[in-house]
Structure 1
Amino acid sequence: MSQPSSPAAISCKGVWQVFGADAPDQLKRALAETGNDARAAARLLRERGLVPAVQDVTFDVREGEVFVIMGLSGSGKSTLIRTISRLAEGTAGSILIHGEDILTASKQRLIELRRNKLGMVFQHFGLFPHMTVADNVGFPLKMQGLNRPDRRKRAQEMLELVGLAGREDAFPRELSGGQRQRVGIARALAVNPDLLFLDEPYSALDPLIRRQLQDEFLKLQAGLQKTSVFITHDITEALKLADRIAIMRDGVVVQIGTPDEIIVNPVDDYVREFTRDVPKGRYSHVSAMMNMPETLPKMPDDPKIEEDMTIDDALASCMALYQPVPVWGRDGKMAGIVHPSQLAGALQVERT
C-alpha cells in the first residue's frame, strides 16, 4: 500500500466536464450567479440544457498507488478518466501530471506524453486485428522510432510478464478475451509508462477470467509499483485492487477513502448501498477498528492478531476469547488492542 506522505503523481483541482454549447462560458456564468456553489451551478446548467458530467472534482493520486474510481453507469467515472488523460477536453480546472498542467499542453506535447509516460488499457482491447500479438505490443515502441529487433525483444519480455510467452506470432482472433486483455496490458506496459489508465478493462470478461486477471494485476503491481487510475462499477473489484477508492454519483465525487474506510465509515446511504452486500470480513482489516487505551487491561491470552489481518482471519484466531487481545504492528511492537465483539459486530448486516 502507498504511504500518505507519497508525492502526488496526479493532482486534480476543481475539474469540470460540461457538455453543451458554449460550455466554458456557461459554466463561468453559472458559478458567478450561484456564488461558486458547484451543486447549484450544476443545477442551473442542467436547466439551461447542458450536461455537467463531472463537477468540481478535486483529488490527488499518490505516486505508486492504485486509485480506483467507481460508480454506477452515468456517474461520470469514464468521463473523468478521459478528462484526466485528455482524451476529452476539460471545461475548467487544472490537472497536473508530475506538476505539468496537461489541460494547457499542446497537441505535440500530448503526443509525447502518450508515447512516453501514459499507458492506457480499455474495455474493448483496441488491438489491431491484422497485426500479430508481438507487433501489437510493440506498436507504441514503433511510434517511438525503436527498430524492429528491439521492439520484438521488448514485446517478448512484456508477454512473458503477463503470462503469454509463446503467443508472439498469434493474431488477436486466435486468443480468448482474457488473453486479448493481457495483450492490451502488455502493450500499455511496453514503453514503461509512469502512469496507467485502465477504463473498466475486465468488465466484458467472464467472472472467473476476471478474477484471474485481477490477481495478475496485483502481482504486476507488486513488482512494478505503477501509478494507476482504474475505473470500475464493481465494488468487489475496487476493494480488491485499490489503495484508495473514489466513489462518484451524478458527476460528483462523494467519498474518497481506503477500502476499510469505505466499508466501515460510508459517508451516506449511496455509498452504504454499494457495500451492503460486501462480505466485510473479507475486505476490512483489524487496523480499521482497533484502539489504544491509556492503560492496557490484563490480556493473558494472545492469539497473535496482526493489524493487517482481515476481520475473518482475526475472528478465526480469537473468537474463543472473551477479552480484548493485542494487535501487533509490522515492526513487532504492539499497535493496539481489539475486542472480539468489535470484529464480530463489523460483520453484522445492517437491517433496513
Structure 2
Amino acid sequence: MERRDFLKSAALAAMATAVHNRADAAGTHNGIPYRTLGRTGASVSMVGIGGHHIGRNTVPAEEATRIVHTALDSGINFLDNCWDYNDGVSEERMGVALQGGYRQKAFLMTKLDGRTAQLAQQQLEQSLKRLKTDHIDLIQIHEVIRMTDPERVFAPGGSLEYLRKAREQGKVRFIGFTGHKSPEIHLHMIETATKHGFTFDTVQMPLNVMDAHFDSFQKLVIPVAQKLNMGILGMKPMGDGIILKSNVVTPVECLQYAMNLPTSVVITGCDSMKILNQAIDTAKNFHPMNQEQVSALLAKTETVAKGGQFELYKTSHNFDGTYKNPQWLG
C-alpha cells in the first residue's frame, strides 16, 4: 500500500471510531480496573507507573521503592521503564523494589534504543541485570521518532532480528514500540512491520487532551492499532506536567480523558506518594465519560492546543534522548 493510501485509510478509520470505544475490560484487582493488552491476552491495570520519575535525583531511593511497592500492593500491575532512563538508575531502583516477591505481582515493561541486533542484545542484557529478573514481559523499541527508524529496525542485522531470538529464548514475552514525535512515523512503523510479515504486540504513544487537536495520535494511530488488535499504551497524559501549565485542565481530568480512550494502560509518572495516590484514586473511581463530557473537555483545550505549544515532545527535541545521544542507536 502506498503511503498516501495508508494514511488516508487510517484517517477514514479514525472518523468512524468513537472516542469511547475502550479496550476490553478484564475485571478488577483491589478496585483497580483491568483491561486486556490487545493480542497478547494479558490482563493489565488501567493505570501504569512510569519508570523515569522514580529514578530522578529529586526522588530518594527509599521513596522509589515505596512507590513501586504501594502501586503493586494497591492493584496496579503495569510497570514502565527504559534502558536509558536516568543512566540506568530507574531500572536499578525498580529492580531493587521488585525483590521479595514483588516481581511476581508485576507486568514488567522496559524499552531499548539500539537499532542494531548487537546493541539491542547488549541493552536488553543490561536491563535484565538491572531489573534483577530473567525475563521482561514486554520489550519495546524506544523513540521511533524518525522516518528512517522502521527501515533500520527491520533491516538484516537490525534490532528486531535479535528481539525475535530473545523472545524464542524466553527473555521477553512480547514486543512493541514507542514514539512521541508524529503519528505518521508510527503508521510507517506499523506499515513496515506488515510488509515484513510482523505485527507488534503493543504500541505506545502520547494520548491526552491536547493531542486530540494537534497532529493527533488518537485520530490516526489508534484505529490502525485496534484493527491489528495491538495493545494501546497511552503515555504523557499530562505531558510531563506541561499540559497543566495551560491552566485549563486538572490532573484528574487529564487522567480520566486518557483512560476513556481505547487504551489498555495509561502510563503516568509518579514521583511522590501523593501523585501515586491520585492515580490510584482516579482509576478506582473511573466511570466512562459520555459524549457531552468529552466534548466539554475538548472545548476547553481546543484553543490552547493549537500549534503544539503544550506538546513539546512533538514540536521540539526537549524529550528526544536519542537525538542528544545518537550513540545509543548504533
TM-score bin (small chain): 0.3 to 0.5
TM-score by length of structure 1 reads: 0.36
Structure with more strand by fraction: 1
The higher-RCO structure (CA 8 Å, 6+ apart) is 2
Question: In terms of Rg, which structure is larger?
Answer: 1
Structure with more helix by fraction: 2
